[in-house]
Structure 1
Amino acid sequence: MTGETEEVVESSTDSRELGRFRREVRAWCAEHVPPDWRASQTGVTDAEFVRFQKQWFAELHSAGFAVPHWPAEWAGGARTRGVDPAAPALSVAEQVVLYQELAAHDAPRLVLAFVGIHHAASTLLVAGTDEQRQRHLPAILDGEIWVQGFSEPEAGSDLASLRTTARRVGDDFVVSGQKLWASGGLHADWCLLLARTDPEAPKRKGISYFLLDMTSPGIEVRPIRNAIGDSHFCEIFLDDVVVPAANLVGQENAGWQVAQATLGAERGMTMLELAERLGNAGFRWLVEAAPTDDPVVADRLAQFEIEIAGLRGMCRRVVEKGADGPADASIVKLYYSELLQRLTDFGAEIGGTGAHTVLAKPLSSGWESGSWVLDFIGSWEWTIPGGASEIQRTIIAERGLGLPREPSVA
């Protein structure tokens, strides 16, 4: 495995302006992507990980590359001058080029900023008040870290079954309950929280959406040590936590609808970024590890290359044209997560005993670091959370293909 970059060939479909932008991003990456970040981010402390993540986010933001999908009026910076304030800071075509080049140059991922710049931002832009946007969007650009407080011990894929409660007391809500699989919860400043405000209503009708200050009294965050030895996932326990009514997003009992804006943020440009990373560093590590003179291995590599090309094409179509069908987002999520799992499984297989002795990976990498056994274990993070593969297939069957709904189990 090497740290060399794989240059993206300038597409013949690039316009003159887009080609110029690609060269600009390529030059910036060559100068600013830390060449030794994989080594320096392996085996580091939590404090060093957080410091590196915030520094890398600041580098991207100063170049106008951290939040290219935000409206220009909120993204800020010299790059947005003269751009329609309501339009994205970078055009969709420019965002595609940006993620292609970042992936090709093996740039670190924005792990800690992910929920803030995608989930929190999309929620606030769609359903937040002016005061909420003014308070949090600039703070996110300054490094405010967010966590998603949705899933619970008995409300994962069936999220609407959540049991955390929020009862109105004057100008506040008092929240009690437990959240699970809260990625990055130990480092979070704020939380996107779903809680039940009307226990008598149908389960999707009585949920409200809140912005939760993680420094509030009554909050306890407990790390969950996972199979690869880190504690990215956390539990959040809420014991009579007071949340001001001003932190309610949207209408009371209408949080389920607001949450769709949050969940939808996972299915657009973020999937394109992940697809590009899988097709660059991930596939490159696989080729370098494989005995390509073995015809069986060569055939598998060719098949993976075809599948990655298909994934990239699907993601780009969804980004450029929008999700045309009701199941498009599920198709992309299912295809990516299961391809990731197959590819990392194959990497662990061909890597032999040596692959099974690499028990550390860079904290700022994705799910395609080249540490094959750890990557394979981590790939299950994609086939289970956010709607397990079985759930995605049900959505595709019922909403996409129009097949009859499965009978209810009494």
Structure 2
Amino acid sequence: MTQIELEQFRRQVGSWLASNVPNAWRPALTNAEQGDFVELQKAWFTKLVEAGYATPHWPEGWPGGGRSLAEQKVIFEEVARADAPRLILYFVALYHAACTLFECGSEEQRQKYLPGILKGEIWCQGFSEPNAGSDLASLKTRAVRKGDKYIINGQKTWSTMAQYADHCLLLARTDSSGPPQAGLTYLLLDMKSPGVSVRPISQITGDDEFAEIFFDDVEVDVADRVGDEGAGWAVAQATLASERGLTLVELTQRMRYGLNILVGTLKSNGRLSDPVALADLGCLIPKVDAACALADQYLQKRINGTEQVGDASIVKLYYAQVLREFVALGVRVGGLDGQGDSGFMRGATQETGDWTLDYMNSYNWSIAGGSNEVQRNIIAERMLGMPREPKSWQLGE
């Protein structure tokens, strides 16, 4: 697609968004019940699917699929520019589940599960555990094969929207005799199966976006295993890789949009003539621009086929740092009003203008998408060639 054609496509997407983004969704979802948020997400998802803008990253032949990375980038940029709600409820389904099935699943699994995603089925991710967060290789949830079934016992935590999920991407241990990564198996689990129980986690922000999942003798068909038994670590890497690139473009672009909210706070508090506040804003703006540029550069590398291990880690690490500075400035210029809680806004990113909550939420991005510590290790070891950090099992612990 030529640059002229891309600009025509951009205008087409922008025009559609101008007519279809839910009106006044921000105030409607401030202090809203979780159920109201879920209904708005389902309605917005249906609109995007029908327009072909929910699945541009899917392969050609699927509704909305077959778009180039450049076209996908246009869609994400315009969605951010239009200040549309984020598809938080469907993120795992659209990216983690779909991309895993396209890359590692069987044709039977794709035909079984992908049409359901397009119809609105919700997925969650069952990777992290109370003692296995960034170090997934230490997870304890067991999957024991009995005939054509796996019997699952264990616990997962920090699973986004698991209380509403129809299916779960589950990483479980089938072998403990060798290196930890070698004993993991990847399964597709029906969340309505007997023995599955979900407990939402109430956060300090007032949200219950995450949940714990408990498995008590839950049965999963062997046919719902993705890849070979014991190959779950490699499949999980494909899952985690699916959230890179376009997601980073969207988040950085939304942060750029959030500058308008920050300037609005300065205006409302009479701080537009405050030299200190303006100096801080002047320092922040180029950092936001740099985050956007890094995300664009990373995506261009993917388009060109020159992406290197660690490129995504640089973008994610810098985004988390700039986001913290962004919302911290919001707290500082918000004055006494900025210290209060005006209500959690569902479906938004961290730059909502409720700066105290935004600041607390910004700490999520020290962990989400891979903890900052893990990203630094990837950059140090895989890009800079520094010695690898020893694992506990290598030390005999």
Q: Does TM, scored on the shorter chain, surpass 0.5?
A: yes
User: Are 1:172 and 2:149 an aligned pair?
Assistant: yes
Partners of 2:126 and 2:148 in 1: CA distance: 22
Amino acid at match of 2:346: L
Equivalent of residue 305 in structure 1, options 262, 282, 285: 285
Shift of 1:408: 6.3
Partners of 2:390 and 2:17 in 1: CA distance: 53
Equivalent of residue 95 in structure 1, options 72, 97, 101: 72
Q: Helix, strand or coil for the counterpart of 1:182?
A: strand
Equivalent of residue 51 in structure 1, options 25, 39, 50: 39
Tell me which stretches of 4 or more aligned residues in structure 1 moved more than 3 Å: 406-410
Partners of 2:40 and 2:322 in 1: CA distance: 30
Partners of 1:295 and 1:241 in 2: CA distance: 61
Q: Helix, strand or coil for the counterpart of 1:238?
A: strand
The equivalent of 2:27 in structure 1 is 39
Does the CA-based 8 Å contact 1:228-1:359 persist in structure 2?
A: no
Q: Helix, strand or coil for the counterpart of 1:267?
A: coil
Equivalent of residue 373 in structure 2, options 390, 397, 405: 390
Identical columns (%) = 48
Does the CA-based 8 Å contact 2:123-2:168 persist in structure 1?
A: yes
Does the CA-based 8 Å contact 2:206-2:344 persist in structure 1?
A: no
The equivalent of 2:211 in structure 1 is 234
More displaced, 361-370 or 265-274? 361-370
The equivalent of 1:207 in structure 2 is 184
Q: CA RMSD in A?
A: 1.6
Amino acid at match of 1:33: V
The equivalent of 1:347 in structure 2 is 330
Shift of 1:407: 5.8
Shift of 1:292: 2.8
Partners of 2:147 and 2:2 in 1: CA distance: 57
- Structure 1 unmatched ranges of 5 or more: 1-12, 78-87
Please give the TM-score of this superposition, normalised by the length of structure 1: 0.91
Partners of 2:96 and 2:297 in 1: CA distance: 21
The equivalent of 1:7 in structure 2 is none
- Structure 2 unmatched ranges of 5 or more: none
Q: Helix, strand or coil for the counterpart of 2:130?
A: coil
User: Are 1:22 and 2:10 an aligned pair?
Assistant: yes
The equivalent of 1:73 in structure 2 is 61
Tell me how many residue pairs correspond in the alignment: 386
Q: Deviations over 1:132-168 (max 9, x none)?
A: 1011111111101010100001101111100000000
Partners of 1:285 and 1:45 in 2: CA distance: 24
Please give the TM-score of this superposition, normalised by the length of structure 2: 0.94
Partners of 2:260 and 2:346 in 1: CA distance: 19
Does the CA-based 8 Å contact 1:267-1:332 persist in structure 2?
A: no
Equivalent of residue 118 in structure 1, options 71, 95, 111: 95
User: Are 1:357 and 2:340 an aligned pair?
Assistant: yes
Partners of 1:190 and 1:341 in 2: CA distance: 33
Shift of 1:222: 0.6
Amino acid at match of 1:390: E
Partners of 2:60 and 2:43 in 1: CA distance: 22
Q: Helix, strand or coil for the counterpart of 1:312?
A: helix
Shift of 1:356: 2.0
Q: Helix, strand or coil for the counterpart of 1:253?
A: coil
Q: Helix, strand or coil for the counterpart of 1:156?
A: coil
